[in-house]
Structure 1
């Protein structure tokens, strides 16, 4: 909680999870019904897996995300299999993951409202998570996620949140502060019409009906701080 920046908190988290055989992890916000509202505050996946995940559109069929509405607390991949909550596509996805040596994982959901969840996903290398390990990891994941969620908007995203550009995020931030397109444009050195265009594109990417919902989604998903 005292970590002053993103690199420090990720390094601290890595030191804690290393004895649990955690190989990689992600942390962010997700909407199970509107998958394009995906915000990754941390993504420590290998580049090959990151590329595959996005290029194959696996996000739309991710079995772990699909299981969130049915699971009220943290769960392992093994628990999903035991409860038979995996579709055929989900089973195939986890089998592909297993080919990387990732045989188990832990998903820690933080239910916000409706179909919106905070999400921390850990992946183990050749190790199955025990019930005791699960309890320890769940506790620290919650602290990690909330601290990271506060810091990332200040430092910038490594993965564009919901596909938003840095300029679009700047415009949302100024709009959230009550500035008009004209005033926001003056601060950014661009035309008011350009601010309007950035806001409209941001609304489309987040599937927001109006500017009020755009700001609410941006704050709720940890894209901007307010």
Structure 2
């Protein structure tokens, strides 16, 4: 590429976009020269790159773009915020994002003119969908089991046995019921004596046998 600056024009319906690009490139006037569309149409042979925004393009801007493309040998380049899969199918393949820094934009336009590379539009990547959290064990409403052992259980002891059968730890049971670990242990000892078991696995088996939770929801500890 010669040492002459890249001559660029922007076809955009919004004056703010044109003013913003001019401000962005002002420190690179030795490498890039921005001209307005009318100047570009008057001297099409001097234009290297025609930037344009295809999203919401007015009929006037579309006409200006066609006239520039017909009169000049400049490379038409999409200049947009939109990702590639949201651009019109007629949009040019070369793409520059409005999110680029001034330095990135200048280098990209120099590369386009020199033939070193033509950026492709980025594709929109949907945010990953998080897997739903596993549902808690489906507990049945504690009901007094039949038999002499079950009939002696207090409602609190029955509730704790139900949670044990569902696989909860003492700490988790305490958090769920708002009780201290020591209180939970006391209730467990009392319940174990009444149902005549000594270990947690035996308590889980007793709870399953007495229908405290569904079998596929119970977890032996």
TM-score by length of 2: 0.30
* Greater percentage in helix: 1
Which structure is richer in relative contact order (CA contacts within 8 A, separation 6 or more)? 1
TM-score by length of 1: 0.29
